[in-house]
Amino acid sequence: MPGHVALIDYGAGNLQSVANALKAAGAPLVKVTDKPDVVLAAERVVLPGVGAFGACARALRGISGMVEAMEQRVLDEGAPFLGICVGMQLLASRGVEHGVHKGLDWIGGEVIAIEVTDPAIKVPHMGWNDVAAMKHRDGAGLIERGEAYFLHSYHFVPDEGRDIAAITDHGGAITAAVARDNILGVQFHPEKSQRYGIELLERWLDWKP
């Protein structure tokens, strides 16, 4: 029987909606958890996130042993990982929302404010927008062209373009997804993206990096 998906609860995510979407995509068992040992035993790990980068980073590190458990299970042991919205942004080296804050530094880069010069382009970037998949060596086939739901005012700029798995356009190119090895992060919300989001989660649940 397949193992469980650990959906990390650090007080900063749309947990029930994400859990429901994972179940709709075929996950046999989703454990919403703030326990490092549940993460260590998981087959797959999901980090959601809603809010400011710094507050989310502090909340995640505020759970004793959680970051260490994530690093062991994902970086050392290769469990498939999915970061959603701020959960994706936390993969970066740092975020500059209301000061400079240290990220997980799993994928080098920084999270900066969306800057637009056209007053018709609104921030936050909120609503449906096209996702354009990039040709990518990691996470091949996970991200497909389509339309997803976004809600953010900051965006992830990776140090290396090869880590960008998809882009969207909001007054310029914005990273919609990153991927490296067994790690996938998406700026959009699969749980709010209807069929497009469920199909992405289906592919991620079948992913064997």
Catalytic residue among 56, 85, 97, 170: 85
Q: Which of 101, 152, 155, 189 is catalytic?
A: 189
Say whether 56 is catalytic: no
**Residue ranges with strand state E in 48-104:** 81-84, 94-95, 101-102
Helix (H) / strand (E) containing 70? helix 66-70
Task: Classify strands 183-186 and 173-180 as parallel, antiparallel or unpaired.
Answer: antiparallel
Give the active site residue among 97, 125, 170, 191: 191
Q: Could you tell me which of 55, 58, 87 has the C-alpha nearest to residue 74? A: 87
The total of other beta-carbon atoms located within 10 Å of residue 145's CB is 10
Q: Which residue carries 């990039």 as its tokens?
A: 134
Please tell me the distance from the alpha carbon of residue 205 to that of residue 209, in angstroms, as a whole number.
11
Q: Rounded to a whole number, what is the distance in angstroms from the first to the last CA of the chain? A: 19
Dist CA 12 CA 9 (whole Å): 7
**Residue 144 annotated in active site:** no
85 is catalytic: yes
| Active-site amino acid positions | 85, 189, 191
